[in-house]
Amino acid sequence: MTTKIPRVMLEGGAVGFADIDPDDIATKEEAEAGEANDKLMTPQGVKDAIAAYGPGGAPIWTFYDAGTAIEEVATLPVPTSGGPYFVIARLGPIVCKAGDVIDVSGQVQYTNPRTYVVGVTSAVRLTTTPNTPNTGTIIYRPSGRNITPTPGTHHDPHALVGKCLAPADNIYWVVISGRAYSTQGGSGQTINVDQQYSKLAVTQFHNHS
């Protein structure tokens, strides 16, 4: 037997009662998934839906995690002056609306096997061209730093943390890039991008305005 729940309804100014089938009441799962259209929701169901999707009916935030072992290169060349950036890691695609906040937490580690000091600059960007390391919006690019030869310094960590706004509606990638340089460098000289130590995580806060 199907249980009916009475509800108050108004017809022509008069107070009456009607039955509500339990199937007409949204479940917690339907509320959280945003699938409660044309269904009644309890106060708790409304709370669950807002917590999961926000008053605008869309997710408040989305989390992306590339984890580890995401290095795309194992070494960086060491020219005698500042050379080109190379893509070290990337995360995407991220579908953005203009004004979305992109909050990035990343890391890359380097080891210098040379016998001389090597300068390194790392950066993290929001870009629509993930294979191009020097384009897009700079989220964070700290000053370059020197890495002494191994064994003095190995697995030298470079933290890349920052936020930016998506400039337009588009599909983006978050890219970590790096470059190395030394007056003693030259053809065939490289430093190591330590494998399985790079990390990249992004939280996208959605703009519902």
| Choice between 45 and 73, residue whose per-residue pLDDT is larger | 73
User: What tokens appear for 126 in the block?
Assistant: 């929001």
pLDDT tens readout for residues 17-30: 456 666 667 676 66
pLDDT level of residue 160 (50, 70, 90 thresholds): very high
pLDDT tens readout for residues 66-85: 876 578 999 999 999 878 89
Residue of 34 and 6 predicted with greater confidence? 34
Q: What confidence category does residue 176 fall into, taking pLDDT thresholds of 50, 70 and 90?
A: very high
The more confident residue out of 10 and 159 is 159
Listed in order, the ranges of the chain carrying CATH 2.60.120.760 are 61-205
Q: Token match 């978050």: residue?
A: 174
Radius of gyration of the chain (CA): 26
Residue 60 and residue 150: Cα distance in Å, rounded?
45
d(CA 26, CA 6): 16
Contact 122, 189 (CB under 8 A): no
Which carries the bigger pLDDT value, residue 108 or residue 37? Answer: 108
What average pLDDT does the segment 156-173 reach?
95
User: Tell me, what DSSP letter sits at residue 44?
Assistant: H
Report the predicted TM-score, pTM, of the whole model to 2 decimal places.
Answer: 0.71
Q: Does pLDDT of 1 surpass 50?
A: no
What the block records as the tokens of 120 is 């390194």
pLDDT at residue 82 in the model: 76
On whether the 61-205 domain is CATH 2.60.120.760, my answer is yes
pLDDT band at 209 (very low <50, low <70, confident <90, very high): confident
Listed in order, strand segments (DSSP E) in 78-196 are: 86-96, 101-111, 118-127, 137-140, 145-147, 156-165, 170-181, 190-193
**pLDDT confidence of residue 102:** 97
d(CA 117, CA 149): 6
**What are 34's two structure tokens?**
């945003």
